[in-house]
Amino acid sequence: MKIKYAWMMAGLSVAALLPGCATATAPAPAPAATGTPTASAGPATPIRTTMPLPRGVFFGDEVDVLPKVIYRTDPVYPYAMSRNGVSGRLAVVFFVLADGSVGNPRIKYTTRMEFELPAIECVRRWCFEPALKGGVPVACQLEVLMTFGAQGQ
């Protein structure tokens, strides 16, 4: 399975968080009915909103050092969606906590609700080196785009 992610953080494109991470500037074409399933990235865009973050959680432009991925897993492409050649995109917003764990993952938007649970379960297992502010580990908000489709599409 080939995985690409697009990371977004407070107006910063942070594709460098993952070695080999790539972002696309155009949406991927619809997948063929056959092929190996994959999840890939879409374009990175700012995520700062007017809603305040919880106390102690920072946007990416408010920290000195951005979080870095230590461990990640790939999302499971639902069998029924893969078999029928169904593709979809979604964005997962979550906090990288001061201990490097993931907190409060949630779907920002999705084109197919069938991809939501595999994406949330995947992100919950990720582990990071936390963001630093003044040399102290702090929580930081991240967002990742995932595109589910057939390999090579």
| Interstrand relation of 136-150 and 88-96 (parallel, antiparallel or unpaired) | antiparallel
In angstroms, what CA-CA distances link 56 with 4, 14, 63, 102? 30, 21, 11, 15
Cut 0.85: pTM above it:
no
**Per-residue pLDDT tens digits for 44-62:** 333 555 566 788 889 888 9
Name, in order, each residue with C-beta under 8 angstroms of 138's C-beta and a sequence gap of 6 or more: 56, 57, 58, 63, 98, 130, 131, 132
Is the domain spanning 6-150 CATH 3.40.50.2300? The answer is: no
Q: Are the C-beta atoms of residues 90 and 115 closer than 8 Å to each other?
A: yes
What's the farthest any 2 CA atoms get from each other in the chain?
A: 51
pLDDT tens digit string along 64-110? 999 999 999 889 899 989 888 899 999 999 999 999 999 999 999 99
